[in-house]
Structure 1
Amino acid sequence: MTDPVPSHARVVIIGGGVIGCSVAYHLTKLGWTDVVLLERKRLTSGTTWHAAGLIAQLRASNPATRLAKYSADLYAKLEEETGIATGVRQNGSVSVALNEARREELLRTASMARAFGVEVSELTPDQVGEKYPHINLEGVTGGVWLPGDGQGDPANIALALAKGARQKGAKILENTRVIGIDTDHRTASAVHWSGSDGQGKITCDHVVNCGGMWAHEVGQMAGVNVPLHACEHFYIVTEAIPDLTRLPVLRVPDECAYYKEDAGKILLGAFEPVSKPWGMNGIPESFEFDQLPEDFDHFEPILEKAIERLPMLANAGIHTFFNGPESFTPDDAYHLGPSPEVPNLWVAAGFNSIGIQSAGGAGMALAQWMQDGEMPFDLVDVDVARNQTFQRNRRYLKERASETLGLLYADHWPYRQKATARGIRRSPFHAQLADLGAVFGEFAGWERANWFAFPGEPRQYEYSWGKQNWFGNAAHEHGLIRNGCGFYDMSSFGKIKIDGLHAEAFLNRVCGGDMSVPNGKIVYTQMLNSRAGIEADVTVTRLSEFSYLMVTPAATLVKDIAWLRRFEDPDDAVFITDITAGEAVLAVMGPKSREVLQSISPADFSNEAFPFGTARDIDIGLGLARAHRVSYVGELGWEIYIPSDMAAHVMETLIEAETGARPVGLHTMDNCRIERAFRHMGHDITPEDHVVEAGLGFAVKVNKKADFNGRNAVLRKREEGLKRRMLQFRMNDPDVMLYHNEPIVRDGRIVGHIASGAYGHTLGGAIGLGYVPCEGQSVEDCLSSPYEIEVAGRRHSADVSFRPMYDPTGERLKM
């Protein structure tokens, strides 16, 4: 007998795939008994039932790896807990390279695995053959072995999670479709359902959208942006192969293929470079355990290479040719967390064909997030609030999805740019920068000038793991910033206006810095969580008595606005407005920036009239602007905020003045900032990183009159002492390149990893920032041992410093 649909629940979970079942399971483990899961058809009937069931431990970041390892451990225990066999076996995985570039990637991946505590071994071609004896080794240049990887039965894993949730009080209702969500004042209050017993609604305190490929549609019911799109995903299963023994999972990314042995058969799956988006006109309401039409012509190139790579396939019959839909996001990272539009409507969707290996950890993390009201650790990469509003556009999602599926197995080059769905957001300077030779990259939908080609050079990236084709261009631009004057476009950075009678009190409550400053003063500050982890790294400028401007990275704008609104009080007379598109920003930086600006503006840019950390209105050319004296590159400079309608004129004025100032790209901004050890939000500093351990305690004013979020955690850390601190590293070998996640080695032992890396052209080597343990140690103790950085399996010596290696006293900023 079907359980009746309750009229109220603490939480309603929408979707009965593996992630919905995992969220229900983990909420009940935390003691949430009033949990209801609604599945439109039957459990697992969307995508989970036909997943390949690969369980890999290593992901592209430490937090994602932590979640994947948790999933593997959880699934191994579920059978004993629930009595449902999950088919989990730890048979390891082999990934192979067919060229030197891919071998470099795999070796870097192996180093990253060691930094994250994942067991790994590099393999020679012969060792690849020993691990996987059926492989044709022609063209194989090497590989890696991950013994902790494995595989499982996707449907049974989900059903075991569902049973575990039921055992702890959750109600799981099948054939109950969600048809609407009530929202009021940014709060979800009820879910409307339709089923065999009629229709009704459940009032609730929380809603979780685990709708899989329907999650975009479910989000739209409440005005919530969940950008993803379904794609056709193909695999074949052979007939039984005589005498086939158990094998590890095999991945051959250069041939877009993976192989899984199961019950004496081989499953061959593919992530082809150009995929086939599906469901552009909506997913049929009747969809349940459905397959999509076969397309052998599309799959045939993969199969032909597979038969050469595994010759035994030539004589194996095809038992199943399967084509089923899976959802993919614009950046190949899944969506997790509270939606910025409706904070009590949570999202766990868009798993990009890694749902089985991710769902256990993702469900645990989301449940803890819901319990505590804060991100439990660094989940920035998958935070649903990273998405931009325009990304709900269906044509955009279709075009981008055709690329992102294939990117899973494409070369993961540093600085790789997306090729599809480009040109959506352009600054007012875009056309002028293009005329000057700009090579654009895409970030949060913005076309941004990353570097400038010399006359006659191709305007394109030539990717490699070493110094790419634009290395010399960036070195030239770097020299302009350090020795002359360079200007770059910062229009993509988020600009948030905070106005109102209580704006000062509100910001003092939200930010660690003191906002009780004179008009025109710029405050560098962080917004902290209760643990003093860094939720946002911003500058705030007081424009007038009741008006402030907060500037934040482009990618975190939506998240930061949501964080601000989280602390709004109904009694606050405060208005929060995104004005990003209203002002273009031109950063004019370098020791000659003062004379450059004085040549095009009558304003006084002297230290006396215009000290560091202040802003003032100026005339410039024939127009008006607001100049902010700050710098993210470690040099004298100003950020010029210009009404968008005057931006092109100001750029023309600057170029025609022939001051010697030249355009530089945002790669150069990054190269310069890392020499000065300025932190990068999302890499060096995250919600998991304590503001004091990040070396940013100077920006927190614990003695200001207002209490603020994270204050007690700052005081506690200062009393207890640091457990780790951030250091700066410079590679002694000028040809070694750092990007991120390379292991930090102290006294022969891995103690951390590089959080962000870039080349320091002034310092003469690659520069990295990273945390190292320091409990009970002084700075001198931390610096007393020799350090190495492991890159692609080899350890290289590095200089280390607590203070910035470039201009440690900050004199050049204030010259």
Structure 2
Amino acid sequence: MTQAIPASARAVIIGGGVIGCSVAYHLTRLGWTDVVLLERKRLTSGTTWHAAGLIAQLRSSATATRLAKYSADLYARLEAETGVATGLRQCGSVSVALTAARQEELLRNASMARAFGVEVAELSPAEVAEKYPALNLDGVQGGVWLPLDGQGDPANIALALARGARQRGAQIIEGIRVTGIDVASRTARAVTWQAETGEAGRIDADHVINCAGMWAHEVGRMAGVNVPLHACEHFYIVTEAIPGLTRLPVLRVPDECAYYKEDAGKILLGAFEPRAKPWGMDGIPETFEFDQLPEDFDHFEPILAKAIERVPMLAEAGIHTFFNGPESFTPDDAYHLGPSPEVPNLWVAAGFNSIGIQSAGGAGMALAQWMDDAEMPFDLMDVDIARNQTFQRNRRYLRERATESLGLLYADHWPFRQKETARGIRRSPFHDQLADLGAVFGELAGWERANWFAADDQPRAYDDTWGKPNWFANAAREHAHIREGCGFYDMSSFGKIKIDGRQAEAFLNRLCGGNLSVETGRIVYTQMLNSRGGVEADVTVTRLSEHSFLMVTPAATPVRDMAWLRRHMEPDEAIFLTDVTAGEAVLAVMGPGSRAALRAISPADFSNDAFPFGTARDIDIGMGIARAHRVSYVGELGWEVYVPSDMAAHVLDTLIWADTGARPVGLHTMDSCRIERAFRHMGHDITPADHVLEAGLGFAVKTDAPGDFIGREAVLRRREEGLRRRLFQFRLHDPDAMLYHNEPILRDGHIVGHICSGAYGHSLGAAIGLGYVPCAGESVGDCLASTYQIEVAGRRIGADVSFRPMYDPTGARLRM
């Protein structure tokens, strides 16, 4: 070993693939000169070297698209900066549809591209042929053209980033394997290492960044950090040179699981087959470096057979290379980025699901900025490592889910598509009873959740579609139960965090925008904000006693919210945080008939005087006990009943047997009711990038409350400066069109934003969406005076717009 290993560094990066090199490059651009990157073998030797190198700018969210566009722009200028050619060629891409459903998806994607500022054009079959003359048009319904997409040289992109980092002072050292991460008091203190020569040592570090690719799961375990991903075999072939082959755009035929890239007169054909082959279940060999996996032509042959029909010139081309190499995939096909919940100064950038080259530039920039600012720089919730649940580190779970994750990249991305693998892990105490009532379950964060209820003669399955689904009528009936009678649904999956201690009140007043100095039994709806006034969490907090509070948060966010709370605890604060989600089941009983239904099974006084809105009370129920919270996420009179898990089945039996008229409803109905009332959805309508005032939640922020809460100055500043945008509610004029999210909002014919969340409003008779509209220097009235349309799959549909909720704008029904 000729290069000296430093004894300490501000940042130690583990892994020398494209993302590790990108993080090093971007940290040094921000002035971090004391950066060390350790690579176990040679730069790019894990996955980067054999990547296909496709660079697509349109992704599934505005932020992901922003990062992909940044990557392309960065790679275009790297050669001039570093002298290393990245091979970037913006040759464009064509995606084609072979079914009507896929065509709908592509058209929706084209609309989304326009909302995100990506150049796009829809193509007829004839226009597809003009862009890609080698294509057999049999069955082609149409396509989409993205002229700024392209391809690059994966290894050279990584090496250019590495050189740029070195030029600014980073040390990049090959042949060094990290053997451990020292952690004390939830802080990474150092990494231990061993060289190929046998020499070993230690580097003290302020920050450790896990960029270890398909080794990231094992590296995370060194520090007790959960990085859920699993390697899968990924196949492609490269043909011999094809005479007369000219430059072609990238071609994607997702209905045949295939992508095509022309390079130097050859065709690379790759596949994302429906059922993948997990690899490395027993660990990745220590010697693995620039290695290939054994060929499996039988597995790839069905893809190749269809490809020869689709691109006939392949029939005459010899195969130069049959390649099988491992790539890592995550349970939800989104990569992992950010500070780990368990060890906040151990950062993660891994699990790129075969889109690492197009993502690495932007992801490295975002992570470096996050580290420099100590806060998420913009909305990265979709890829935040803290979205993952603790159980997802289970190896069997990862192996089973990985068989599906790879194939989902090119599967139809139905709006309510449910995962099929690794199911049934987390079940509410009500699960079996709801199944007996006809529940059709979906999965979120591992929870099996009753989404809708089937009739006795109806299949209990989703019939996927972009239009009105097979359960549309069921949801309409369930919606009516909530609006006109009484419906009950299972909220047990929602996160529940106990905050205890003598300083709990002061702690929460520092973390929350609301005033938590309330009497026992009061419920406070509030947000936890970042220093910019963005929404980090949207919660209710109930004061259970003088020194005990319960925070209730969405099912997907308790790990993230717990991490945020821990991150902001002072070392000497006597605060105790406990995730009690599994300890209590929660049955929401909602609707105008909810008071009568609860009176039939409980002697408690549910009148307005005895039990006002926003309060919680201990009650007897059946022969058990519970705590009832009078709150509502559906815009109707109702209570959330928190029951010890051991009594949950009894309480639900009691409600059913009492024959009060209460009917089971699913969580799709909860969503349709909440959007009619314009209640915000965390992660869609409100994110860390959305200012709490612009989200219309200023009523929940108490700037005169005790404690100088995080984000207070940003709230006061925005109130003084004026809002730059506002969240509005939209209702489509066409009652048959459906909204989901990311559909463009047009104001007076110009795209000004996109729908953040959408659902069908059965009481309002059309699809409803929430979305932000720029309003700098304008009043609400100015915004409402305009004409609005929403673009759905290329079709512009007129829409009503409202600043107040279209359903029960005064909230009177909550307080009936």
For this structure pair, what is the TM-score category when the shorter chain's length is used for normalisation?
over 0.9
Q: Distance in 1 between matches of 2:706 and 2:219?
A: 44
Alignment of 1:775-786 (within 5 A): 775-786=776-787
**Number of positions where the alignment pairs a residue of Structure 1 with one of Structure 2:** 815
State the match for 1:69 in structure 2. Answer: 69
State the match for 1:753 in structure 2. Answer: 754
**Secondary structure of 1:113's aligned partner:** helix
State the match for 1:151 in structure 2. Answer: 151
State the match for 2:556 in structure 1. Answer: 555
Please tell me the residue identity of whatever aligns with 2:799. Answer: A
Alignment of 1:11-22 (within 5 A): 11-22=11-22
Q: Percent identity?
A: 81
TM-score, normalization by structure 2:
1.00
Please say if 1:521 is aligned against 2:512: no
**Secondary structure of 2:556's aligned partner:** helix
State the match for 1:106 in structure 2. Answer: 106
Any idea what the Cα deviations from partners look like across 1:623-681, whole Å, max 9, x if unmatched?
00000000000000000000000000000000000001010000000000000000000
Q: Distance in 2 between matches of 1:2 and 1:633?
A: 66
Q: Distance in 2 between matches of 1:619 and 1:592?
A: 19
Q: Distance in 1 between matches of 2:792 and 2:751?
A: 12
Please tell me the residue identity of whatever aligns with 1:572. Answer: E
Please say if 1:664 is aligned against 2:665: yes
Q: Distance in 2 between matches of 1:455 and 1:279?
A: 45
Any idea what the Cα deviations from partners look like across 1:724-759, whole Å, max 9, x if unmatched?
000000001100000000000011100000000000
Q: Distance in 1 between matches of 2:622 and 2:550?
A: 24
State the match for 2:50 in structure 1. Answer: 50
Q: Distance in 2 between matches of 1:500 and 1:650?
A: 31
Q: Which sections of structure 2, spanning at least 5 residues, go unmatched?
A: none
1:570 to partner: Cα distance: 1.9
Moved more, 687-696 or 566-575: 566-575
Q: Distance in 1 between matches of 2:200 and 2:706?
A: 54
1:571 to partner: Cα distance: 2.0
Kept in 1, the 8 Å contact 2:274–2:406? The answer is yes
Q: Distance in 1 between matches of 2:533 and 2:673?
A: 28
Please tell me the residue identity of whatever aligns with 1:799. Answer: D
Any idea what the Cα deviations from partners look like across 1:326-351, whole Å, max 9, x if unmatched?
00000000000000000000000000
Q: Distance in 2 between matches of 1:2 and 1:238?
A: 41
Q: Distance in 1 between matches of 2:706 and 2:472?
A: 49
Please tell me the residue identity of whatever aligns with 1:626. Answer: R
Q: Distance in 2 between matches of 1:698 and 1:218?
A: 44
Q: Distance in 1 between matches of 2:528 and 2:451?
A: 28
State the match for 1:90 in structure 2. Answer: 90
State the match for 2:316 in structure 1. Answer: 315
Kept in 1, the 8 Å contact 2:505–2:547? The answer is yes
Q: Distance in 1 between matches of 2:709 and 2:456?
A: 53
**Secondary structure of 1:382's aligned partner:** coil
State the match for 2:353 in structure 1. Answer: 352
State the match for 2:499 in structure 1. Answer: 498
Any idea what the Cα deviations from partners look like across 1:283-332, whole Å, max 9, x if unmatched?
00000000000000000000000000000000000000000000000000
Q: Distance in 2 between matches of 1:78 and 1:237?
A: 27
Please tell me the residue identity of whatever aligns with 2:343. Answer: V
Q: Distance in 1 between matches of 2:731 and 2:27?
A: 45
**Secondary structure of 1:206's aligned partner:** strand
1:220 to partner: Cα distance: 0.0
Please tell me the residue identity of whatever aligns with 1:630. Answer: V
Q: Distance in 2 between matches of 1:571 and 1:806?
A: 47
Please tell me the residue identity of whatever aligns with 2:753. Answer: G
Alignment of 1:639-658 (within 5 A): 639-658=640-659
Any idea what the Cα deviations from partners look like across 1:679-732, whole Å, max 9, x if unmatched?
000000000000000000110000012101000000000000000000000001
Q: Distance in 2 between matches of 1:152 and 1:612?
A: 59
Q: Distance in 2 between matches of 1:313 and 1:8?
A: 54
Instruction: Kindly report structure 1 stretches of 4+ aligned residues shifted beyond 2 Å.
Output: none
Please tell me the residue identity of whatever aligns with 1:786. Answer: T
Please say if 1:327 is aligned against 2:328: yes
State the match for 1:126 in structure 2. Answer: 126
State the match for 1:166 in structure 2. Answer: 166
Please tell me the residue identity of whatever aligns with 2:89. Answer: R
State the match for 1:273 in structure 2. Answer: 274
Please tell me the residue identity of whatever aligns with 1:338. Answer: P
Alignment of 1:629-648 (within 5 A): 629-648=630-649
**Secondary structure of 1:472's aligned partner:** helix
State the match for 2:534 in structure 1. Answer: 533
After superposition, the CA RMSD in angstroms is 0.5
Please tell me the residue identity of whatever aligns with 1:26. Answer: H
1:175 to partner: Cα distance: 0.4
Q: Distance in 2 between matches of 1:72 and 1:451?
A: 43
Please tell me the residue identity of whatever aligns with 2:327. Answer: E
1:572 to partner: Cα distance: 1.3
State the match for 2:790 in structure 1. Answer: 789
Any idea what the Cα deviations from partners look like across 1:369-405, whole Å, max 9, x if unmatched?
0000000000000000000000000000000000000
Please tell me the residue identity of whatever aligns with 1:74. Answer: L
Please tell me the residue identity of whatever aligns with 1:128. Answer: V
Please tell me the residue identity of whatever aligns with 2:696. Answer: G
Please tell me the residue identity of whatever aligns with 2:751. Answer: I
State the match for 1:2 in structure 2. Answer: 2
Q: Distance in 2 between matches of 1:359 and 1:3?
A: 27
**Secondary structure of 2:488's aligned partner:** strand
State the match for 2:545 in structure 1. Answer: 544
Alignment of 1:326-725 (within 5 A): 326-725=327-726
Kept in 1, the 8 Å contact 2:292–2:325? The answer is yes
Q: Distance in 2 between matches of 1:693 and 1:641?
A: 33
State the match for 2:142 in structure 1. Answer: 142
TM-score, normalization by structure 1:
1.00
Please tell me the residue identity of whatever aligns with 1:89. Answer: R
Any idea what the Cα deviations from partners look like across 1:13-34, whole Å, max 9, x if unmatched?
0000000000000000000000
Q: Distance in 2 between matches of 1:553 and 1:637?
A: 18
Any idea what the Cα deviations from partners look like across 1:766-810, whole Å, max 9, x if unmatched?
000000000000000000011000000010000000000000000
1:196 to partner: Cα distance: 3.4
Please tell me the residue identity of whatever aligns with 1:730. Answer: R
1:569 to partner: Cα distance: 1.1
**Secondary structure of 1:512's aligned partner:** coil
**Secondary structure of 1:381's aligned partner:** coil
1:512 to partner: Cα distance: 0.4
Q: Distance in 1 between matches of 2:456 and 2:734?
A: 31
Q: Distance in 2 between matches of 1:42 and 1:159?
A: 11
Kept in 1, the 8 Å contact 2:517–2:706? The answer is no
Please say if 1:288 is aligned against 2:289: yes
State the match for 2:744 in structure 1. Answer: 743
Please tell me the residue identity of whatever aligns with 1:360. Answer: G
Alignment of 1:97-246 (within 5 A): 97-197=97-197, 198-246=199-247
Any idea what the Cα deviations from partners look like across 1:109-168, whole Å, max 9, x if unmatched?
000000000000000000000000000000000000000100000000000000000000
Alignment of 1:253-264 (within 5 A): 253-264=254-265
